[in-house]
Structure formats: C-alpha cells, structure tokens
Amino acid sequence: MNQKLLTLFLLVSCLGFSQAPINQFVNSAETVYAIVNPATPLDESTTGAGLTWNFTNLTQIGTNTDTNAAPTGTEVLDYPNTTEVLTITTAGTTPVLNKLFIRNNANEISLTGATQDGNLALEFVDNATLGTFPVSFNFSNSDATNGNFDGVVDGTAVSGTFTGTLDTDVDAHGTLNLNDFGLGAYSGNVTRLKTELDISLTVVIFNVGTVTQTNYYYYDDANGNLIFRTSINDIDINFNNPFGDDIVFQETIILHEAIDQTTLGTDDNSLDVTTISLYPNPATDQLHVKNLENMTIDAVRISDLNGRTVVNLSDFDNAPIDISNLQQGLYVVKIRSGTNYFTKKFIKK
C-alpha cells in the first residue's frame, strides 16, 4: 500500500498524585517535538490514578513542529465548520506535512478533517467530537462520525466514504519521567487524554478495510503543556482493485513524540514570533540572526534533528554565524535573551 496513505492516519502540579483539568486539546503556540524511538516498547495500557510512567529509554530520530493558525477561505470550503488548523511539519523522517482541521465551538472540540501533504484527505462530514474543554479525570465521550476520504493506493487514485466512532477518555494521571535525549529531561505530574478513532473504509459499496487510531496525550498539570504523545495505528486493508492486483495490507504503525524541554516554562517570558528573524533561509555559508525589537541576544545554539549541538555561541556578538561546514538539511535554532527563549528553524542548502 502506498506509504502516503499509511502516514495520513498518523494524524489523526500539586502535592502527591493530584490531577489538573486539561484546558485545551492542542498547544496554542508553535511547539517543537522530538520524534523518539524507545529501546523497548512503552507500556501505556494501565489506567487510573497515581500512576508512574518511566519513558526513560528514548532516542530522537526526527522532529515535528506544531503550528496553529486560522483556516484559509479554501480550507473552510473544503472542511466546513473549521475554526483552527494544526499543521505538523516533520523533518528527519516521513511524513513531511500533516494538517488537522479542528472546530472549536464554545470550547467543544471536534475534528473536521485531516490531510497529509495535500495528497490525501479525510473529511469528517459528521464532525467527530472529543468533548467540551476543560476535561478532567474520568471524563468520557463517544461520538459517531462519517465522511469522505481520497488518496492513492499503489499509484491508483481511490475515493470513498468512511463510518465509525471517536471515543475520548481522560483515563489516567500520575508522574511522567522522560530521559534527556538531547532536548532536555522531564519529570512531572501529568493527566492523560486517550482518543480512539475506529473507522471502516468503503469504495462504492464495498468495504475495503478498517483503520483504528489510538492516541495518548500527556498534559503537564502545572502549565497545561502537551508533554508527550503516542499514536498507534492499526491498518487492515483488503481491496479488490479493478485496475490491477488485489491489495492486501496489514500493519501497525506507532509514533512517539516528546516536547522540546528547552522551550518549557517560558510561556510568560517567551519572545514573540515576530521578535527574531533568521536570514537568509535557506542559507548556504552564513546565517544572520536579526533582532527586530532591540533586545540583547545572549546566546544562540544550533542543533541537528538528532538533538546534537552543532553550533553553540554562549556569548553571542550579533555577528553572522558560520554554517559553511554544516551538512545540508533542517536545523533548530535556540535563542536566549535573559530569561526569554525562542525557537526557530532554518534550512542549510
């Protein structure tokens, strides 16, 4: 089965072990996540209160950057009722670009659609509702949904419909521990949101398969940040293709992501997105860091997508940064001004 069709479905603190309500489904500002592989499989099956998750055997293999924005006019036409678009840009591993279309109606959060690279799409005609936020431990909701899908299977364009359910549960809270894989360690109290989207795919009148996507979201109890997330996608396709060989495909795809710890705890003091500019971007030999608000930049650190520091300027003097020795690819720039931090990316060509 075409890999793009598979990756589409990758979308979709107090004393003791107390828990805090989850106030929002996605982060409100641009957030960088490391795509990580555990040395041994993570056990996320246990539910309840006062749990401990020791995810301390993680290695970074790529980077995802979450960006939130209002929908364009075209996006609203394609995915009616959308009020917010979460764009997930991936580097270091596939896929390249995912979008999740969300409806926020007085804090009732629903899914209106999902796309991967603009080539594949799910449209939730009957929007899939998670619930009304904030949500707290023991919250549970189940919502029937249906819609349309289109994509490419073995080079053949395929369109059809889907039906299914979206189940949402705040099923656990406790302490989450993450090792430092290059972007900072974490240990704190979290509350977990679980979603399970179970849909059947139909082409014309024939059921061609099922997809079950289970997501776990761990939110920090102190500041509400989405700290860690897991997506488990069970795909079972059995398609009698009139244009070629029959397609039989079964696979489980698991994606783990951990937030970049160097940007945590700075919400109140973070530099605004328009404060710092990197140019040229893409860059070849030199990278300029332009300060648009006359603030003093104390330090600049550049890391590759594996979290390795390749340039570390602990006493930044505003001079152009020599990047001529860096390999081509995407890099993460961490900028510090006093207690303020900002993260940007650039491409070395």
Does residue 125 register a pLDDT over 50? yes
Helices (H), 17-140: 73-78
Mean pLDDT (the chain) is: 83
Q: What pLDDT sits at residue 31? A: 81
Q: What pLDDT sits at residue 105? A: 95
Closest by CA position to 255, among listed 235, 232, 227: 232
To the question of pTM greater than 0.75 for the whole model, the response is: no
- Name the residue with higher pLDDT: 295 or 242: 295
φ/ψ (deg, to 5) at 78:
-75, -35
What's the rounded mean pLDDT across residues 76-97?
85
Q: What pLDDT sits at residue 118? A: 59
Fold of 276-348: Immunoglobulin-like (2.60.40)
What percentage of the chain exceeds 70 in pLDDT?
82
Q: What pLDDT sits at residue 57? A: 94
Q: What pLDDT sits at residue 330? A: 79
C-alpha angle 51/56/62, rounded to 5°? 120
Paired tokens of 315: 């006493």
Please write the tens of the pLDDT for every residue from 22-32.
999 987 767 88
How far apart CA 330 and CA 245 sit, in angstroms, is 39
In our burial notation (b when 16+ CB lie closer than 10 A, e otherwise), range 22-40 reads beebbbeebbbbbbbeeee
Does residue 153 register a pLDDT over 80? no
Q: CA of 53: how far to CAs of 40, 84, 187, 228, in Å?
A: 14, 31, 10, 11
Please write the tens of the pLDDT for every residue from 237-291.
776 665 555 666 677 889 999 987 765 544 334 444 556 778 888 889 999 988 7
Does residue 187 register a pLDDT over 80? yes
Q: What pLDDT sits at residue 110? A: 97
Q: What pLDDT sits at residue 298? A: 85
φ/ψ (deg, to 5) at 82:
-65, 130
What's the rounded mean pLDDT across residues 281-304?
84
- Name the residue with higher pLDDT: 44 or 338: 44
Q: Cβ of 310: how many Cβ atoms within 10 Å?
A: 15
Give first-to-last CA distance, the chain, whole Å.
Answer: 32
What percentage of the chain exceeds 90 in pLDDT?
46
How far apart CA 201 and CA 197 sit, in angstroms, is 13
- Delimit the CATH 2.60.40.1930 region(s) of the chain: 276-348
Q: What pLDDT sits at residue 290? A: 82
What's the rounded mean pLDDT across residues 131-147?
97
Q: What pLDDT sits at residue 268? A: 36
The β-bridge partners of 86 are 68, 100
Q: What pLDDT sits at residue 20? A: 87
Please write the tens of the pLDDT for every residue from 107-121.
999 999 998 875 678
Q: What pLDDT sits at residue 296? A: 82
What's the rounded mean pLDDT across residues 212-232?
93
Q: What pLDDT sits at residue 17? A: 46
